[in-house]
Structure formats: structure tokens, C-alpha cells
Amino acid sequence: MLNLSKSALYLFKSNQCYLLGLNKIRPIPILLYHSKTGVFGFRPKEGYKYEVSEQELAARIQEIRFYQFVTAYREHGHKIANINPVDFNEKMEVPELLPERYGLKNEDIFKFKGILFESEVEGTLNEAVQYLQQTYCSTLSAEFTYLQDEGEKDWFSKEFEKTKHAFINRELEKQVALEMLKSQAFDKFLATKFVSLKRYGAEGAECMMAFFFRIYEICC
């Protein structure tokens, strides 16, 4: 007797139904390639539980209104960011970023540690606003609160707020600019040389060359 797998057996039965003129073929009840140990094409996710440290949790509870205000900047700061150099329209006011909504005053002093990923331990609300605007509302911003995992959100906000202290030397800026120009020149060459050919280029997204430049540099 032949030892047929579930998939082979299903195909055999389907073929028999077709030959006998039966119109209805039963659908596969399960995805046969799933398994607990993982097989090619499927890898089960490893569950983990993210826990906020006791120090951070205590700081957020103690300064709950300030924490809500900081979270609002992380969620809505990108709306007033100056990321479009040719946008001359007046920036709209975002109600979620108003301190009055949270009952905060500029002269109030708050503990930053555990809430803001800043080197200063504490400071005034005005200092916190300057830090948040420089981080999330300047020429660089991010929208990441669509992430479902709390651990991923905390990690991203921590890493992104480090960019405030990042330094890029002049030589590296020139190298990145050169790679962007090369990408633009190559796109123009393809558009001129292969006019009627469907192609995919980096037009309008040349800034991603900085990402690839850094990745290749690390790999080498």
C-alpha cells in the first residue's frame, strides 16, 4: 500500500473527483506546512513579555501628567516638523501639544529620568519642550506609535532621542551627498538610454543612499 502524505492524498482525491465529473472539491482544512518546531516557509514566533523597569514605572506614575505630555510629542510631533524645505505654509497648531491641556506651566520642575531619554536628571517644562521640539519637530522627525509592541515603542523613542547628540563630520556629509548624486545621475542615464523600458529607480528617494552607504560600510 502506498504511503501518501496529506498533500499528495488531497491531490489524488481531487483528481479522482475531477475524472468522475464531480464539481465540488473539498477545500484543504488546514495549512499543512505549519508545525510547532518550524519548517521551511514557516517559523513560529517566540513569545516574550516586555516589562518596564521599576525605576521608570515609578517615575511615570509620579509625573503622570508630564509623561502624558511627553507621549503626546512622540505621537504628534511629526505633524509640525519642518521636513519639507519648500513648504511655506504656516504650521497648524496641534492641540495635543499644548501644556495647558495637561495642567502644566513653563516654570514647573519635573524629573526627566525614566520619562525623557535625556542626560539631565530634572528640569523645567520649558527645557523639556525645547528638547522635544528639537528632537521631534525640527528637520528630522519620526512617526512610530503605530507599532503594536510597547517594548518596540520604548526602544525606538530611546534610540531616536539619541540623535539629538549625534554628530556627523563634514567629510561624511560630502560622501553621502556624492552617493546621492551618483544615484540621481544613474536614474537620468536609464531614463535617457532606455526610454520605453519599464524601470525602477530611486527618484525622489535618493536620501536612502545614506542608509545603504552606512550599512555597506558596517558590513565591510
| Residue 56 to residue 47: CA distance in whole angstroms | 23
Q: Provide the domain limits for residue 178.
A: 170-219
Tell me: do 112 and 69 sit in the same domain.
yes
161 vs 132: CA distance, rounded Å: 9
Q: What is the total count of domains within the chain?
A: 3
Task: Mark which of 140, 165, 190 sits at the end of a domain.
Answer: 165
Q: Which pLDDT does position 199 carry in this prediction?
A: 75
Q: What is the per-residue DSSP string for 28-67?
A: PSS-TT--SS-BTTB-PPPP------HHHHHHHHHTHHHH
* 129 and 63 housed in the same domain: yes
Confidence (pLDDT) at 125: 94
The per-residue pLDDT for range 120-133, each reduced to its tens digit, is 888 999 999 999 99
My answer on whether 107 and 143 are in the same domain is yes
Give, in order, the Cα–Cα distances in Å from 54 to each of 22, 42, 57, 71, 170.
Answer: 65, 36, 5, 19, 42
pLDDT in tens, 195-217: 887 777 777 788 888 888 889 88
Both 78 and 149 in one domain: the answer is yes
For residue 15, what pLDDT band results from cuts at 50, 70 and 90?
low
Q: Are residues 141 and 66 in the same domain?
A: yes
Question: Do 79 and 103 have their domain in common?
Answer: yes
Q: What is the mean pLDDT of residues 99-110?
A: 92
> Once rounded to an integer, what is the mean pLDDT over residues 6-25?
62
